[in-house]
Amino acid sequence: MMTQYLALKREAGECLLFYRMGDFFELFFDDAREAARILDIALTTRGEHGGAPIPMCGVPVHAAESYLARLIRAGCRLAIAEQVETPEAAKRRGGSKALVARDIVRFVTAGTLTEEALLEPRRANVLAAVCEVRGAIGIAACDISTGRMELEDCAPEMLGAALARLGPTEVVAPEGWEQAPDDAIARPAAGFASDAGEAKLKDLHGVATLDGFGQFGRAMLAAAGGLLAYLDHVGRGRMPLLLPPVARAPAQTMAMDEATRASLEVLAASQGGRKGSLIDAIDRCVTGAGARALAEDLSAPLTDLAAIQARLALVSWLHDDPLLRGDLRTVLRALPDIGRALGRVVAGRGSPRDLGQIRDGLAEARRVRDHLAQREDRPALLDALMPALGGHGALTDLYTRALVPSPPTTRDQGGYIAEGYDAALDALRQTSGHARRAIAALEAKYRAETGIAALKIRHNGVLGYFVEVPARAADALMAPESGFTHRQTMAGAVRFNALALHEEASRIAESGGHALAAEEAHFEELVAHAVAAREAIALTATALARIDVAAGQAERAAEGRWALPHVVDAPCLAITGGRHPVVEAALAETRGGGAQRFVANDCTLSPEDRLWLIGGPNMGGKSTFLRQNALIVLLAQAGGFVPADSATVGLVDRLFSRVGASDNLARGRSTFMVEMVETAAILAQATERSFVILDEVGRGTSTYDGLALAWAVVEAVHETNRCRCLFATHYHELTRLAETCDALSLHHVRAREWKGDLVLLHELAEGPADKSYGLAVARLAGVPPAVVKRARAVLDKLEKGRAATGGLAAGLDDLPLFAAAAAAEEEQCDELRERLKALDVDALSPREALDELYRLKREADPG
């Protein structure tokens, strides 16, 4: 056995090998150690190899999916070695000691999952292949759970942005390619050949030319070749569901790099997970397919004005008719995920339940079509989707006749073909039913003949049918003339066989076996019908998802009183009463606890006023304002309503966000280096049609360096990129750029100091900020009063020195050391005495006196 295992392990390579032994998958050696650690299961031993015990662990076959899911989430790749012959066949082949033949039937990897239990219902599972051909990067991506496949090419510097948009769970690339992503799986370079990729696509879809699907460059076809070669490898020759490829041009969608997506928290929050992300705040889809389509919309907002307006028209139509929207969402909510059910069926991993889901989903699609067909004011996009919702009458009628109402998830026990579909199958079942009744009659007959009231006829998987009596009554059946043959003695019972029982058991087994074989044949026939109609079924699934997205967007807009954006082909942005969808949703959840309502703000950019320089205190709302305008642009071009009173959005080709501080220690990049890399990408790629938000550029280095860099970046954005830009900064010196940059205007977030406390208004106003309020924010954050007081003294010296000499650090030479704590405390006491002397107690109201007392106490007690 170990020889067989080790041969399969060599074939499995780095994958953990699940080796089937009866009702368990076993793992050995290092695979067992790794799996036991991740799964937290017992690690045992079995036999020896090389004089040492062999580590072993195992999981039951019937529960394997849950263990596979945990291993996949931990980053493992798995190989499944199944028994490919029965023990009886092995004995016929090689005698009683022959080893059952096993083979790897499938590789299980993150990007090649189809099982319902292993997939997230609301997230696509994308597999991507990348390679380079003559300086162009080819990308082939697919989601084999639904069959969607797209090909594209891009410049080398845009590979990261393209992969960030796709969000693949697994990437494959040619061996030895230096530009391959760090986490890519290396595959033989020979598989990434454009001619081989073209031939495989033609063969897969049975066409003589790919022209009917689109125009594909050599880099695209090479990547497709690598993708198909990998799928052929992991599927062991059986290809999953793959629909005809779609050629995607980068210009069709808004470009966003990985840093921008992370900064805007489009699909995942900064701390990880969906909670707190944009999609979490707006997703009102009632189907998994709709949620996946929404995620794709947000990942790749459109740049085609007609396509955007078509989506908006459908959302607006459903928004304006809440009764229709409610009825439609009720029907959609009951829909099964027919796209993924189809994917499992085509991949050879389908179950009767999957066929039932296809049947029920197609029937519900027809209901949706009939319901919508009654309306005469349908938008154009809905009319385009309507044909895909019908045309499956023959298939649904066939499945309705052939399958029971609730088919099981497995085929091994039968029972999924409906009664009346096949008369011969019904006869076999009737025979089996009669035989079981005969077993019951036989049991009664044996009791009467032997006088043993406790006699029972039982069944198990090893012995089949047998007679069982208590041990005290077994002597009567041991006699040769009794007609019973002893089979097994248990602790309290004895088991026997009998000729009549054997005959009835044979009839049951024969009829049951024939019935299972008949059902299996019908299942294969029904699968063939689904495979033949796979493209039409997939179109239906896509149409239902698009309708669900539109209805969900309309529902979210109605909830939040969002506005229908006016999208135009011009470099402008006019937002009235704009809000941040995630922050507003978070405030709404906690408002009962005393949280403030979200303060809306306007933003108007035009060719004459395209660059806003925004100052004001930390925590004043600058970053929120920057992000909310970027998100409004994104939502509008994704085809949805926006959180604003009104919005006119000029088409954006590329969206950039450089907000917040982070590092990338794995790549040896400090926070400032990451900031500069992201800023460099913006300056190199932003066009006049781009929208850029920049926050605190230059704050990660020395004051002079940072100010100089921020100054130069503002000038470059204004003079060279000439894009729409919101630039937040604490460098007051940058306000002087308004004198030389005619398209730059000054703005600030408002704040007030009242009775010594800082009040943040979160409102945007025109003009420069009067000061930074940094010390007030520090006090709000709990910095000890002595430290804040020391900082104020340093600040006074800095400002006086700068006023006198123009030098930022002038005047600090004679500043006493901070370590002189006693002097500082004495100075603080002197100030408190002076304030008490100056206080007119008789003139204070009781409330004013109490406020003053609290204020003095705070200043007198640094703790």
pLDDT digits (tens, 9 = 90+) for 716-747: 999 999 999 999 998 888 999 999 999 999 99
pLDDT confidence of residue 603: 97
Residue 756's pLDDT is what?
Answer: 58
Q: Are residues 543 and 585 in the same domain?
A: no
Q: Which amino acid is at 659?
A: V
Give a yes or no: residue 261 inside a domain: no
330 domain residue, yes or no? yes
607 and 738 both lie in a single domain: yes
> What is the reported pLDDT for 849?
80
Q: Report the CATH number at residue 178.
A: 3.30.420.110
The residues, ordered by sequence, that sit 6+ positions from 767 with a Cβ below 8 Å of its Cβ are 746, 747, 748
Tell me: pLDDT of 796 over 60: yes
Higher pLDDT among residues 421 and 491, named by residue: 421
129 and 65 in a common domain: no
Q: Evaluate whether residue 447 is within a structural domain.
A: yes
Res 819: pLDDT: 42
pLDDT surpasses 70 at 659: yes
Residues 61 and 141 in one domain: no
- Looking at residue 619, its pLDDT comes to 73
Residues in the chain: 863
The verdict on 628 and 674 lying in the same domain is: yes
User: Domain check: are 745 and 714 in the same one?
Assistant: yes
| pLDDT given at position 503 | 81
Q: Residue 814, Cβ neighbours under 10 Å: how many?
A: 6
Domain boundary, last residue among 55, 83, 108: 108
- Which pLDDT band holds residue 261 (cuts at 50, 70, 90)? very high
333 pLDDT above the threshold of 50: yes
Distance CA 465, CA 468 (A): 10
In a domain, 416, yes or no: no
Range 646-669 average pLDDT = 79
SS3 content of the chain, % helix, strand, coil (to 5): 50, 20, 30
**Using a CB cutoff of 8 Å and minimum separation of 24, what contacts does 740-746 make?**
741/611, 741/714, 741/715, 742/608, 743/607, 743/608, 743/609, 743/610, 743/611, 743/718, 744/611, 744/612, 744/613, 744/714, 744/718, 745/609, 745/611, 745/612, 745/613, 746/612, 746/613, 746/615
For residues 594 and 692, membership in a common domain is answered with yes
Looking at the DSSP bridge assignments, the partners of residue 417 are 403
Please tell me whether residues 287 and 195 are part of one structural domain. Answer: no
State whether residue 576 is helix, strand or coil: strand
**275-294 average pLDDT score:** 96
Domain boundary residue, one of 58, 79, 108: 108
Task: Report residue 802's pLDDT band, with 50, 70 and 90 as the boundaries.
Answer: low
265, part of any domain? no
65 and 153 co-located in one domain = no
CATH number of the CATH domain containing 641: 3.40.50.300
pLDDT at 764: 87
Share the mean pLDDT of the chain: 89
Boundary residue ending a domain (86, 108, 130) = 108
Residue 513 and residue 388 share a domain: no
Mean pLDDT on 760-768? 82
Q: 797 vs 587, which has greater pLDDT?
A: 587
Question: pLDDT at position 526, please?
Answer: 97
pLDDT tens digits for range 536-551: 999 999 999 999 999 9
For residue 805, the model assigns a pLDDT of: 54
**For range 334-360, the mean pLDDT:** 95
**Same structural domain, 555 and 567:** no
**What's 221-283 look like in SS3?**
HHHHHHHHHHHHHHCCCCCCCCCCCEECCHHHECEECHHHHHHHCCCCCCCCCCCCCHHHHHC
Mean pLDDT of 469-498: 90
DSSP run (H or E) holding 637: helix 622-638
Token pair recorded at residue 290: 């709709």
Boundaries of domain holding 227: 121-252
**Is residue 151 included in any domain, yes or no?**
yes
Confidence of residue 200 (pLDDT cuts 50, 70, 90): very high
- Domain-embedded: residue 572: yes
**DSSP helix/strand/coil, 71:** helix
When pLDDT is cut at 50, 70 and 90, the band that residue 812 belongs to is very low
Amino acid found at 536: A
Confidence band for 703, pLDDT divided at 50, 70 and 90: confident
Q: Per the domain annotation, does 259 fall within a domain?
A: no
- Whether residue 627 is predicted with pLDDT greater than 50 in this model: the reply is yes
Kindly state whether residues 693 and 837 are assigned to the same domain.
Answer: no
Q: Which residues pair with 28 in a beta bridge?
A: 56
Report for 113-127, 153-167, 305-319, 615-629: range of highest mean pLDDT: 305-319
Give the count of domains, the chain.
6
Rounded to two decimals, what is the model's pTM? Answer: 0.85
Q: Under a CB-based contact definition with an 8 Å cutoff, are residues 165 and 300 in contact?
A: yes
Q: What local confidence, expressed as pLDDT, does residue 506 receive? A: 79
- The CATH code of the domain that includes 502 is 1.10.1420.10
Mean pLDDT computed over 644-648: 97
pLDDT band at 329 (very low <50, low <70, confident <90, very high): very high
pLDDT at 699: 78
pLDDT score, position 829: 66
- pLDDT attached to residue 515: 87
Per-residue confidence (pLDDT) for residue 821, from 0 to 100: 44
Which CATH number does the domain housing residue 100 bear? 3.40.1170.10
pLDDT attached to residue 368: 92
Confidence class of residue 753 from pLDDT cuts 50, 70 and 90? Answer: low
| Per-residue confidence band for 272, with pLDDT thresholds at 50, 70 and 90 | confident
